[in-house]
Structure 1
Amino acid sequence: MSLPKVVRPLLRDEAYDHIRQAIVDGSLPPGAPLRDGDLAEQLGLSKAPVREALRRLAEEGLVDSKPQSYTRVSEVMSPDVLDAREIVRVLHEFAVRQAAAKCRPHDIAAMRAANDRFAKAIEAGDVKAAVKADDELHDVPVRLAGNAAVAATLDRYTPLLRRLEHARFSSALAWNSVLRHTKLIDALEAHDAATAVSVIATIWTDLLEDR
Structure 2
Amino acid sequence: MPTPLPHGIHKRSLLRDDVYDSIRNAIIDGIFAPGERLKDPELESWLGVSRTPIREALLRLERAGLVVTTPGRATIVAPLDAQSTRNAQQVVAAMHELAARLAVPALGPNQIAAMVAANAGFSAALDADDVDAALTADDKFHAVMVDASGNAMIPVVLEQAMPVLRRSEYQRFSTDDARHSVTVHAQIIKLASVGDADGAALATRENWLSLDAGQDR
TM-score by length of 1: 0.91
Question: Comparing 132-141 with 196-205, which one deviates more in the overlay?
Answer: 196-205
The root-mean-square deviation of aligned C-alpha atoms, in Å, is 2.0
1:134 and 2:138 are equivalent in the alignment? yes
Does structure 1 retain, via aligned residues, the 8 Å contact 2:86–2:213? no
1:39-50 matches, cutoff 5 A: 39-50=43-54
Instruction: Report what 1:8 is aligned to.
Output: 11
Task: Measure, in 2, the Cα distance between the counterparts of 1:196 and 1:91.
Answer: 13
Does structure 1 retain, via aligned residues, the 8 Å contact 2:118–2:137? yes
Consecutive unaligned residues of structure 2, counting only runs of 5 or more, are none
Task: Measure, in 2, the Cα distance between the counterparts of 1:187 and 1:9.
Answer: 43
Q: Which amino acid aligns with 1:160?
A: V
Task: Give the CA deviation at 1:155.
Answer: 2.1
Instruction: Report what 2:188 is aligned to.
Output: 184
Which digits, 9 at most, give the CA deviation of each residue in 1:29-73, with x for residues without a partner? 212111111111111122232122212211210001222343211
Task: Measure, in 2, the Cα distance between the counterparts of 1:120 and 1:34.
Answer: 35
1:83 aligned to 83, 87, 94, which one? 87
1:112 and 2:109 are equivalent in the alignment? no
Task: Give the CA deviation at 1:186.
Answer: 0.6
Aligned residues: 209
Does structure 1 retain, via aligned residues, the 8 Å contact 2:65–2:163? no
2:150 aligned to 133, 146, 149, which one? 146
Q: Which amino acid aligns with 2:178?
A: A
Q: Which amino acid aligns with 2:182?
A: V
TM-score by length of 2: 0.89
Instruction: Report what 1:58 is aligned to.
Output: 62
User: Does the C-alpha gap of structure 1 residues 116 and 122 become closer, same or farther in structure 2, counting only changes over 3 Å?
Assistant: same
Consecutive unaligned residues of structure 1, counting only runs of 5 or more, are none
Instruction: Report what 1:70 is aligned to.
Output: 74
Does structure 2 retain, via aligned residues, the 8 Å contact 1:173–1:210? no
Instruction: Report what 1:93 is aligned to.
Output: 97
Task: Measure, in 2, the Cα distance between the counterparts of 1:104 and 1:55.
Answer: 40
1:123 and 2:127 are equivalent in the alignment? yes
Instruction: Report what 2:174 is aligned to.
Output: 170
Q: Which amino acid aligns with 1:115?
A: N
Does structure 2 retain, via aligned residues, the 8 Å contact 1:102–1:144? yes
